[in-house]
Structure 1
Amino acid sequence: MARFGVVLITEDCSRAQWMDKCRRAEALGYDVIAVPDHLNLLSPFPSAMLAAEATEKAVIGTYVLNASLHRPAVLARDVATTDRLTGGRLEVGLGAGYVRAEFEAAGVPFGAADRLRALRDATGALAALGDARPPLLIGGHGDRVLRLAAERAEIVSFTGAPYRAEFGRTALVDADEMAERVAYVRSAAGVRAPRLELNVLSKGTVLTRDRRAGVAALRRYAPDLGTDRLLEVPTLFVGTAGQIAEQVLHHGERYGFSYFTVMESSMEAFGAVIERLR
């Protein structure tokens, strides 16, 4: 059975507002409630703790911790503590980070090699926790991050959104490139491949009876893709709840995805899809 997660945004949240959002996510059927890690948001570990307090069964995730912002040994302590105090409900997600301004504000190098080294060091520190380590998710798109995920994580998350210099930001790849990324991970994982859980991060969900018109609202995520290719992008969901449920099943068959994560802006819309799939 597939799992479904939502990344909730903590900006400007009071205690009550944050707890209400977490409860609503659980009520809609989300299996995983995840907190992001950006300097303009509330700190991820206290937010994760309060999410666990507000809910009953949901896994509490981080999507994703910027490895460069956390000293490896301190990160391992914080992960172990949070997992223990949430009753073993933590799923720790790690990434290499992508917002240059945050690196500059934190006084840490932004170079690709530096970011990969920080991610590698973080996974090493977590591995030292042994059996006490919660499930590890690593998210990304490029070869080096996905290879590390294939070698060290239980869950590989495909963002499908590399940085594009011509746009000055990230942009979504098409269906064929996503398939190539999945194949790359399976090859890199070797004998581990059958044990990996494959996750995909969706950028947007639009409930509509007119898919071609609906996808126009999401074109900003992939401005170089025509409508037909945009409708096939596995990181966007467009259509009726029933049609999107069919998309989810199709993505499971084509890519092997069994874990789907949406952003908070899509929480209510995708909740109607979860209801169809339960």
Structure 2
Amino acid sequence: MTDKRFRFGIVATPADGSPDQWTKTVRRAAELGYSTVLMPDGLQLLSPFPSLAMAAAVADIRVGTFVAAAPMRTPYAAAWDAHTLTVLTDGRFEFGIGTGRPGTDKFAEKLGLPYGTGAERLQQVRETLDHLAELDGDRHTPVIMAAGGPKALALAAERADVVSIAKGALTPPAEVIQLAEELRTLAGDRADDIELALNLFAAGDGELPPWTKMATGVEPEALRATDSLMLLPGGPRQMADELLRRREVLGASYISVNSAYLEELAPVVELLAGQ
């Protein structure tokens, strides 16, 4: 399905008031062989752009937004922040951008910005990428897009370097595979250049944390029962074999995991290094 080598990232956030925890997590991720520290976007968190600048300064690791919500900034402001991180990290920044998760409308309102329709928010994404390309000039900031709907998939096929299929936790694997096929068809000659990302909520056979429902929208038992792609069960060898299988059938080679599972996935990162 793809000849791209695996790379791994963690999705993490700095605890408010605890810079030491943030730098410790970033440095540990780099020590364990992870490629990237990725940070989500929302007013309940610290701002991702300065947080990621700090992360890139304390360890030799790539950093990225996963993903910045377009309605929370004007297109030029978002592009400015992204370009700035590309320059300051010497090209180690990946700009993840999307139209926003549920609840982003309240964030936009608090910021005094319009939320807009789905079409308007997708146009914001396009305008942001246009401004970023202009600011970058001869540079290139890799773009991550979370896309699930037809129009978002089409834009991702046209503009993204990395695509994460944005579907719910209980989406059947066959549907995700179909969407990945549609993405490649839409991308045409660009298909081989696109890296497909898969975000894991949990890895290993341990009990899912109590905040599972809040994070995924579904009960832990439902995730287990439906073989959700957000889970990666088993020991290190079983998890590695499953990721090899998913790369074969889905094409996903960029694997990220919630930072709570940083240590659990580390043996898999080591097993699949260079593959």
Is the pair's TM-score, using the shorter chain for normalization, greater than 0.5? Answer: yes
| Counterpart-to-counterpart distance in 1, 2:88 and 2:52 | 10
TM-score (norm 1): 0.86
- SS of 1:33's equivalent in the other structure is strand
Which residue in the other structure is 1:165 paired with? none
Q: CA deviation at 1:110?
A: 4.6
Unaligned runs of 5+ in 1: 162-170, 209-213
Distance 1:16 1:177, change over 3 A: same
Q: Percent identity?
A: 33
Taking the aligned partners of 1:224 and 1:263, their CA distance within structure 2 comes to: 15
Highest relative contact order (Cα 8 Å, sep 6+), 1 or 2?
2
Which one of 127, 131, 155 corresponds to residue 133 of structure 2? 127
AA of the residue aligned to 2:108: F
- For 2:139 and 2:200, how far apart are their aligned partners in 1? 30
Output the CA distance in 1 between the equivalents of 2:220 and 2:35: 33
1:197 equivalent to 2:204? Answer no
Mark the CA change 1:178 to 1:13 in structure 2 (over 3 Å): closer, same or farther: farther
Unaligned runs of 5+ in 2: none
**Are 1:22 and 1:54, in contact at CA under 8 Å, matched by a contact in 2?**
yes
Tell me how far 1:230 sits from its aligned partner: 2.1
Deviation at residue 207 of structure 1 after TM alignment: 3.0
Q: Contact 2:165/2:197 (CA < 8 Å) preserved in 1?
A: yes
- AA partner of residue 34 (structure 1): L
Aligned partners of 1:216, 1:87: CA distance in 2, in Å? 37
1:53 and 1:140 map into 2 onto residues whose CA distance is: 30
Match in the other structure for 1:147: 154
Inter-partner Cα distance in structure 2 for 1:152 and 1:225: 37
Aligned to 2:39: 35
Alignment equivalent of 1:186, drawn from 167, 184, 187: 184
Where does residue 117 of structure 2 map in the other structure?
111
Alignment pair present for 1:96 and 2:99: yes
Number of aligned pairs?
262
Could you list the per-position Cα deviations for residues 46-92 of structure 1 after superposition, in whole angstroms to 9, with x for gaps in the alignment? 11111011102x11111111111122222222222211111221111
**What is aligned with 2:12?**
8
Structure 1 residues 114, 227: closer, same or farther in 2, change over 3 A? Answer: closer
Q: 1: CA distance between counterparts of 2:75 and 2:210? A: 40
Bigger drift between 126-135 and 62-71 goes to 126-135
